[in-house]
Structure 1
Amino acid sequence: MLIRPAVPDDAEAIAEVNAAAWKAAFAGVVSEEYLSSYDGAPQRRREDLLTMSSEAVQFVAEDGNRVVGWLLGHPSEDEDCHRGSVYEVRACYVAPTHWRAGAGRRLMQHLLTGLDRSRWREVVLWTPRDTAPTRAFYASLGFESDGKTAVMDRLGPVPIVRLRRTLTEDVAAL
């Protein structure tokens, strides 16, 4: 499996991975109406890849020549996070056909080991509260709830929780 920077030509594949992962992981948590119509927003993915800030990253996991995972990260925009030292995983999705095959772990390792420790001290991410497998995956990477919660109204409403991980030198051991 290869982890590489995403390029605009990956937008359709990223959208497919995103939609398939949402439909499989969030069934019963996110409204069925939303999930049934969600296509992963390919045009938005392309625009994001073309207009990324210099501090944002997007990586894909490839199995052969097929994109099977995607990660998007950028400096946290949460008001209670120090803007210069907290990075955020905005998206990390893997095609359900490749769950438990290492793509998600490899994407996260790639990000966590690549962040400049002289600047970035912590990494945060938001995930639906009621998705035990997703939360277990992030816990295996050292993420823990920091007590911050919110509700994503456009999804049903869906309670979400913020997870946080301190960046330490042991990231490579994940």
Structure 2
Amino acid sequence: MSRVEQMWIRPAVPDDAEAIAELNAAAWKSAFAGVVSDEYLSSYDGAPQRRREDLLTMSPGAVQLVAEDGIVVGWSMGHPCEDEDCDPNTVYEARSCYVAPTHWRSGTGRRLMQHLLAGLDRYRWQEVVLWTPRDTTPTRAFYATLGFKPDGKTAVMDRLGPVPIVRLRRPVEA
């Protein structure tokens, strides 16, 4: 049985906050080295208190999922899009999808994203967007396999370095 066959996806609960923060920090430090400032990455702990607060106070339409194979090894979250140029009634944002580096290329990230997307009400949501650093080729390639394409919107996250980011988009029914 493969690693992904032994895994299940479930809604995240507040008790998952520490594990989510740990895997989030490890994923950032591995995936964004050389893209995000070393100073930021060296101090990033995944924000466990923020993760717990987010899980306790989720807004309507927000979803947080974890992938578990005995321990939490992946996390995704989404909510109605808050970008000024998007309609929050029809555009959903896949806000986060992180997998512990020990589980990269195992299918965990794909299953998390597929589960998040499959749970969207196709009568309400028309499109899904997400933001990712522009210069992370593996990350952008992963999202491309799920049907996400750049939509021309860019920004800079100053707190990260500064880091140029791009918005990717796909129809819900892709």
TM-score range, shorter chain: over 0.9
Q: List per-residue Cα deviations over 1:10-32 (Å, max 9, x = no partner).
A: 00000001000000000000000
Shift of 1:53: 1.1
**Which amino acid is the alignment partner of residue 168 of structure 2?**
L
Q: List per-residue Cα deviations over 1:73-108 (Å, max 9, x = no partner).
A: 000000101110000011110000000101100010
Match of 1:115 among 109, 113, 120: 120
**Which amino acid is the alignment partner of residue 45 of structure 2?**
D
SS of 2:10's partner is: strand
Q: Which residue of 2 aligns with 1:150?
A: 155
Match of 1:125 among 106, 110, 130: 130
SS of 2:125's partner is: coil
Which stretches of structure 1, 4 residues or more, deviate above 3 A after TM superposition?
none
Does 2:46 align with 1:40?
A: yes
Shift of 1:34: 0.4
Shift of 1:54: 2.4
| Identity %, equivalent residues | 82
**Which amino acid is the alignment partner of residue 86 of structure 2?**
C
Q: Which residue of 2 aligns with 1:93?
A: 98
**TM-score, structure 1 normalization:** 0.95
Gaps of 5+ in 1: none
Structure-1 separation of matches of 2:119 and 2:163: 32
Structure-2 separation of matches of 1:83 and 1:51: 18
Gaps of 5+ in 2: 1-6
Match of 1:22 among 25, 28, 45: 28
Q: Which residue of 2 aligns with 1:55?
A: 61
Match of 1:71 among 76, 79, 82: 76
Q: Which residue of 2 aligns with 1:3?
A: 9
Q: List per-residue Cα deviations over 1:34-79 (Å, max 9, x = no partner).
A: 000000000000000000012100000001x210000010000001
Q: Which residue of 1 aligns with 2:4?
A: none
SS of 1:134's partner is: helix
**TM-score, structure 2 normalization:** 0.95
Q: How many residues align?
A: 168
Structure-2 separation of matches of 1:12 and 1:96: 16
